[in-house]
Chains A and B, each alone.
Chain A
Amino acid sequence: DAKTTQPPSMDCAEGRAANLPCNHSTISGNEYVYWYRQIHSQGPQYIIHGLKNNETNEMASLIITEDRKSSTLILPHATLRDTAVYYCIVRVGERFNKFYFGSGTKLNVKP
């Protein structure tokens, strides 16, 4: 699996957009990019995933660069409840979708 690199922590002001970067320079053509977050010790929460195109859902937007070597998760209007550890995972979209979680980015949303 391609390795991902994320900054260990980021700060964001409440109400502003939070842009969380992820580098995956060794990604291959059939690998998807997934984003999860974990609030306190709750179970990881699925946010969004994509292969090549940018994706948007009710929680966030995922921007994947044209060369697919990096991506950005965008929370358009961060709230205090978005404070969490965010994980970027790259995984082949095969049948069994085995995930490996790294250290993630701790996003601190401040009033």
Chain B
Amino acid sequence: DAGVIQSPRHEVTEMGQEVTLRCKPISGHNSLFWYRQTMMRGLELLIYFNNNVPIDDSGMPEDRFSAKMPNASFSTLKIQPSEPRDSAVYFCASSYTGAFGQPQHFGDGTRLSIL
């Protein structure tokens, strides 16, 4: 079975540009999570969706960050305008919440570098 698919795998762009990260969750999963990982702060949860609805975006750092999930098989995380401090690895994860205790499954991440 295909796992969580993220694109692009690497992104290098200049400060001020718009950046869009994409995620395709595992088919049948109804929850989707966006994380950011840096050396300083470790792995942080940014936002998560259940049945395509944002449930908790308290981890989104500021208004420059936005996330959408237009359907059950696709989500985007957008940064506009981007800044050098946004450089990090961004992970998407999905899980099935129809039963208690189900684990999250992660994609391979997008390594983002803002120059």
Residues of A within 8 A of B (CB): 32, 34, 41-46, 49, 51, 93-103
Contacts and interface: CB of A to CB of B under 8 A. Distances in A.
B109 A42 contact: yes
- Grouping DSSP codes into helix (H, G, I), strand (E, B) and loop, the A interface class, with mixed when no group exceeds half, is loop
Nearest to B37: A41
Nearest to A87: B43
Nearest to A99: B104
A70 to B, nearest CB: 19
Given A49-B103, A97-B97, A43 B45 contact: no
Contacts of B43: 44, 101
A34 B106 contact: no
B75 interface: no
B31 interface: yes
A98 B44 CA distance: 11
Interface residues of B, number: 27
B91 A46 contact: no
B45 A45 contact: no
B91 A95 contact: no
Interface in B61-113: 89, 91, 93, 95, 97, 100-109, 111
B34 to A, nearest CB: 12
Nearest to A44: B106
Given A43-B106, A95-B97, A103 B42 contact: yes
Given A41-B89, A44-B91, A98 B105 contact: no
B103 A43 contact: no
A97 B89 CA distance: 22
B50 interface: yes
A43 B102 contact: no
A13 B45 CA distance: 34
A44 B93 CA distance: 9
29 contacts: A34-B103, A41-B37, A41-B89, A41-B109, A42-B108, A43-B4, A43-B93, A43-B106, A43-B108, A44-B91, A44-B106, A46-B103, A46-B104, A51-B101, A93-B100, A94-B100, A95-B97, A96-B48, A96-B50, A96-B56, A97-B31, A97-B97, A97-B101, A97-B102, A97-B103, A98-B48, A98-B56, A99-B104, A102-B42
